[in-house]
Amino acid sequence: KGEIRLFRCVLSEDDVRAGVIVSVTSLAGDKFKLLHFDQNDGRNGAPEGLELSLQEMSAKFSSMKRSHAGFYFTGQQSFNYEPLSAVKMSKLESRDLMMFHSLDNWTPREC
């Protein structure tokens, strides 16, 4: 317990645009995190350090002892969706209005 293992994978902008899946599985069901860092440029444009931009916690499979986490770089913009609340939906007069209001709940991900 308390053992730390670090692995490094370098992705170029071309790799990310083309699409990359980073998929990690622990057969023993260990807890782990995937961390994604971006290069942080200083004032003069020279590399200054790394900045944490994404973090994913592992989750256990319900039927197995394994745990898994992944990053999915699709090369396309992705979105988060927040469903409409039941109260807000009940106030809308028609299905068309419900559809248009639900489209407003898609927000771009900041990746």
pLDDT in tens, 1-25: 677 888 888 888 898 888 888 899 9
Rounded to 5 degrees, φ, ψ at 84 are: -70, 145
Alpha-carbon distance 33 to 53, whole Å? 13
Pairing of strands 33-41, 47-57: antiparallel
Q: Which residue has the higher pLDDT, 66 or 102?
A: 66
The structure's pTM equals 0.59
Above 80 in pLDDT, residue 84?
no
| Residue 17 three-state SS | helix
DSSP strands (E only) in the chain: 20-26, 33-41, 47-57, 59-60, 67-73, 79-81, 106-108
Q: What does the alpha-carbon distance between residue 35 and residue 71 come to, in Å, rounded to a whole number?
A: 9
